[in-house]
Structure 1
Amino acid sequence: MTDPCPPAAPGPWWRAGRFPLFAAARGLSVTGDLAALSALTVHVFQDTASGAAVSGLFAVRVLPRLFGALAGGLSDRVDPRRLLVFCDLISCAVFVLIACTRPGYAMILGLVLVAESAATVTAPAAQALVARTIPAHALSRANGLLMAVTAIGFASGAAIGGLAATTLGYQYALLVNAASFVLSAALVAALPRVPAVREDDDRGFLAATRAGLGRLRRDRQAAAVAVATIGVTFAAAIDRPALVVLTQRDLAGGSGLAYGLALGGISLGALVATLLMGRLRALTPSAAALVAGIAVEAAGHLGMGLAPTVAAVVIGAAVAGFGDGMEGVTAITLLQRAGGSSVGLVMGAVLSGSYLADATGSLLGGLVVGAAGPRLTFGLSAALMIACAAVPWYAARNARRSAPL
């Protein structure tokens, strides 16, 4: 696969494709989306008093994400800017409809399914747009800034949605979300046109999708990055219930505050890493940086499992978050560079695998914690991460050995 990134242009890299407008659009969209999700979750539980109903809401959100490869393939055939605008407007209409009609549970699930289907198209389209507008030397910095904006949007959106749902009513949070989608669509519409790289492909859509996935499998280094990314997501998800049990039950003085501090430590570490990516030579995306990021993340998870106090858990969480941010930006950048004319398809396929791995790991983690306890669960997670790090390391070593002298 060939590098889809454009050549470097004169002036600061962030002027390419009007990147600040795009970053602002993604921040608005993510903030509104998390506000709506938080508000809907609170509303569904208050209305049904059923944990199963809340699980149904999350299941509907995950289901479309399993078709990420197909969704990503659209951005290889259509201007990703147009896809982003269209999907933002569809999502806006959905949440306005929910807010104004206050439908029952079944109708909420159906409408959320529509919105999440649009979001499934949006994620790979956004990464394809970045790959095609940002010069290769600045790609990691752009991805790092976008991940930082996304992390801030997740945190602020969840807080806004929860507060709005409990004080004003869930429909107001949904209207805020709808407004954020309108603003996001307006900003994206102001970006320059991004030609699709496969708009003249005369093959059928499914045939082109199969061909793109075949090229990913044959590119051993890109495939290794994809496998490592999905595997690390699975390993990290196993620890999710372990962190709750460790901070709430096993540590003296543990409380809801302890769990919140641990999550804050992860977020802070990831935010620092994403902002540093590409600025320091040691954090330039490469197979070595990917392996190092996964190793740092594994060390953080092991540290949390061995931590004797809440403070030590928070430190381990910050280390894990730093490794997670480093690994995330590096993997995205390497996959964007390798994607070539199938960059949207590649990113969509990896996102689908990651969502499935996250859901499976979370379910399995509860069983492992119940059988072995939280500390051994953290150890298992760290061991799985090291095994995942070996995949890109081995692929890079083989590539160096086979390279002509």
Structure 2
Amino acid sequence: MSDPADPSAGAGDAAPAPLRRNRDFLLLWGGVGLTLLGARACVVAYPFLVLWKTGEARDAGLVGFAGLLPNLLVQLPAGALVDRWDRRRLMIVCDVGAVLVAGSVAAAVLADRIGLAHLVAAAFVESTLAVFYQLAERAAVRHVVPAEQLSAALGQNEARWRAAGLLGQPLGGLLYTAARWAPFLFSAVTHVLSLLALLPIRTRLQSEPDGPRPPLVAELREGLDWTWRRRFLRVLVSLIAGTNLLFQVISLTLVLIVRENGGSATTLGLVTAAGGIGGTVGALTGMRAARRVPLRAVVAGGTALWAVLVPVLALTGSPVLLGAVMAAMAYVGGLTNVAGGVYQVTITPERMQGRVSSLIQLLAFGTGSFGALAGGYLLDGLGVTRTLGLIAVAMAVLALFAAVSPALRHPDRVPAETDLPAGEPAAAGYMDAV
């Protein structure tokens, strides 16, 4: 029987063991899931902590900006370093650093010595560590599963991320209600548990280099050139960047809607948990839908649905209706992330996974830092209703662009086996479907 941790195990051997029996995949999946759970618990706590301390939406936006800024500053060098460094060791170091950062916030809140500068710095450092950690895991997953199970593994990873939001955010609200320092202590504990999960992993999480590495700048240039020549991927990522910028404003707006209607951190956690349910369902059904619907149609139709749903947020303070809207929006996001994620991993040679993923993360999520910063000022200056109106119009423009763009009618082809490094299996099937 083929080794379930060997990605080169082919269909010509006995069928690979299911993912639920793949020890190293489960350790990797569970360890990352624990860190996501802790991070999502803090998502609720950070804005409420800032608003409790200063009462200013712009301060909450500043902390959000600091937490997203590494997506702009760190992504590219992190991607190249993830391709160079031992990925398992790197993830362990990130876990240790995150324990120290989250622990410092918990201790400062407990001692009533928390300040805005501390929160800004903690959000920036924690997010920087998360960039390295998540890029390493994304590049590593194809080394712990057979090639034919890669799509299923990425679908489970997306479902894990959504489930972490489903469980982590209401838990974070409950913990914050009990004690303002509790979500941050919880985050530190989850990173300790993640560390314990990573230590027993036996599989090497990257291929051996064929020879001496070129200079770091040359590797970065190679990743940029490879990605730029994929027109479909380039335009797709640009669309995702635009929607992610808008969703950062929506996330901050949701905090204010709940707060202005007398809701607590627990209420916000429950509303976002509904989004977690929708996103999890979207992730679990994403591959089935993507095989029947072109990726361009998924992106254009999903963005159009978001444009319709955004104004509904301004018309209600009901947690039930807010949760329903967030669930529908997150369902589309989960489906799109799985389809787009499999597409990117499938067409990218293994030796460039870190660099290409980091560039896509930079383009897709780096704009979110400006969305968080601008969102605070928009909400202070225009209020909730007008801000959401602007977001709805912007979403509609992006949906129209996705529908008419010639670049999205012809997906980039999967590279031929001769374009891949020695021993790298060529992906098959998925790109023909989209």
What is the TM-score of this pair, normalised by structure 1? 0.79
> Distance in 2 between the 1:241 and 1:109 partners?
16
Name the structure 1 match of 2:75.
68
- Name which of 390, 394, 398 aligns with 1:384: 398
1:301 paired with 2:311, answer no
Q: Which of residues 218, 221, 242 is equivalent to 1:207?
A: 218
Could you give the per-residue CA deviations for residues 135-173 of structure 1, whole angstroms, max 9, x where no partner exists?
A: 343223222222222222224323333332332341x33
Which of 126, 130, 148 is equivalent to 2:159?
148
Q: Given the superposition, is the C-alpha separation of residues 36 and 231 from structure 1 closer, same or farther in structure 2, using an over 3 Å criterion?
A: closer
Is residue 2:409 matched to residue 1:394? yes
Matched, 1:179 2:189: yes
| Partner in structure 1 of residue 91 of structure 2 | 84
Query: After superposition, what is the alpha-carbon deviation per residue over 1:347-385, rounded to whole angstroms, capped at 9, x for unaligned?
Result: 122222222333445637768988967457424413313
Describe the superposition over 1:48-68 as per-residue Cα deviations: whole angstroms up to 9, x where unpaired: 444444333222212222121
- Is the alpha carbon distance of 1:353 and 1:188 closer, same or farther for their aligned partners in structure 2, counting shifts above 3 Å? same
TM-superposed deviation, 1:108 = 4.3
Query: What is the CA distance between 1:272 and its match in structure 2?
Result: 1.0
Distance 1:368 1:292, change over 3 A: farther
Return the letter of the residue paired with 1:54. Answer: A
The 3 A distance-change label for structure 1 pair 224 and 89 is same
Residue 193 of structure 1 aligns to a residue whose secondary structure is coil
Cα distance in structure 2, aligned partners of 1:397 and 1:205: 27
| Alignment match of 1:354 (pick from 356, 364, 368) | 364
Alpha-carbon offset, residue 271 of structure 1: 1.6
Deviation for aligned residue 1:328? 0.8
- Matched residues in 1 for 2:273 and 2:178: separation? 24
Deviation at 1:221?
3.7
Deviations 1:225-277 (CA, angstroms, capped at 9, x unpaired): 4334323424555666787899999xxxx996999887565443322110123
Please report how far the alpha carbon of residue 302 of structure 1 lies from its aligned counterpart in structure 2 after TM superposition. Answer: 4.0
Q: For 2:283, which of 262, 269, 274 is the aligned residue?
A: 274
Query: Which residue of 7, 11, 24 maps to 1:18?
Result: 24
State the SS of the aligned residue for 2:201: coil
Identity %: 21
- Does 56-65 or 207-216 show the bigger shift? 56-65
How far did residue 80 of structure 1 move? 1.9
Report the Cα offset of residue 110 of structure 1: 3.1
Q: CA 1:316–1:215 in structure 2 vs 1: closer, same or farther (change >3 Å)?
A: same
- In the TM superposition, what are the counterparts of 1:130-141 in structure 2 within 5 Å? 130-141=141-152
Partner of residue 175, structure 2: 164
Structure 2 residue 234 is matched with structure 1 residue 223: yes
Q: Provide structure 1 residue ranges, at least 5 long, that are not aligned to the other structure.
A: 400-405
Q: Whole-Å Cα distance in 1 between the matches of residues 262 and 272 of structure 2?
A: 13
1:112 to 1:246, Cα distance in 2 relative to 1, 3 A: closer
Query: Equivalent of 1:109, from 120, 123, 127?
Result: 120
What is the CA–CA distance in structure 2 between the aligned matches of 1:283 and 1:312, rounded to whole Å?
28
More helix by share: 1
Q: What is the aligned counterpart of 1:339 among 348, 352, 363? A: 348
TM-superposed CA distance for 1:81, in Å, is: 1.9
- Of 96-105 and 257-266, more deviation after overlay is shown by 257-266
Letter in 1 for 2:343: L
- Asked if 1 retains the 8 angstrom alpha-carbon contact of 2:170 and 2:270, the reply is no
Post-superposition offset of 1:327: 0.9
Q: What is the CA RMSD across the aligned residues, in angstroms?
A: 3.9
The within-5 A match list for 1:25-104 is: 25-66=31-72, 67-100=74-107, 102=111, 104=114
Code of the residue aligned with 1:378 in structure 2: it is A
Q: Contact 2:167–2:273 (CA<8 Å) still a contact in 1?
A: no
Question: Structure 1 residues 197 and 97, CA, compared in 2 at 3 Å: closer, same or farther?
Answer: same
* Secondary structure of the corresponding residue to residue 332 of structure 1: helix
Distance 1:186 1:180 in 2: 10
Rounded to whole Å, the distance in 1 between the matches of 2:47 and 2:310 is 30
| Contact 2:65–2:370 (Cα < 8 Å) also in 1 | no
Provide the rounded CA distance (Å) in 2 between the counterparts of 1:157 and 1:314: 15
Distance of 1:49 and 1:110 partners within structure 2:
19
Q: Is the 8 A contact 2:311 2:388 kept in 1?
A: no
CA distance in structure 2 between the partners assigned to 1:247 and 1:112 by the alignment: 23
Change (3 A) 1:321 1:159: closer
Paired letter, 1:394: R
CA-CA distance at 1:124 after TM superposition: 1.2
- Distance in 2 (CA, whole Å) between partners of 1:34 and 1:299 is 27
State the 1:296 CA deviation: 3.4
Q: Structure 1's 395 and 198: CA in aligned 2 closer, same or farther, altered over 3 A?
A: farther
CA distance in 1, matches of 2:76, 2:227: 12
Query: Residue 402 of structure 1 corresponds to which residue in structure 2?
Result: none
1:277 aligned counterpart, secondary structure: helix
- Once the two structures are superposed, what CA deviation does each residue of 1:293-340 show, in whole Å capped at 9, x if it has no partner? 213313422442686986988766544332221111111111112221
Structure 2 residue identity aligned to 1:385: A
Structure 1 residue aligned with 2:295, among 290, 298, 314?
290
My pick for the range that moved more, 52-61 or 68-77, is 52-61
User: Does structure 1 conserve the Cα–Cα contact (< 8 Å) formed by 2:71 and 2:131?
Assistant: yes
Identify the range of structure 1 (101-110 vs 302-311) with the bigger mean alpha-carbon deviation.
302-311
CA distance in 1, matches of 2:259, 2:61: 22
Contact 1:230/1:350, CA 8 A, preserved across alignment = no
SS, match of residue 69 in structure 2 = helix
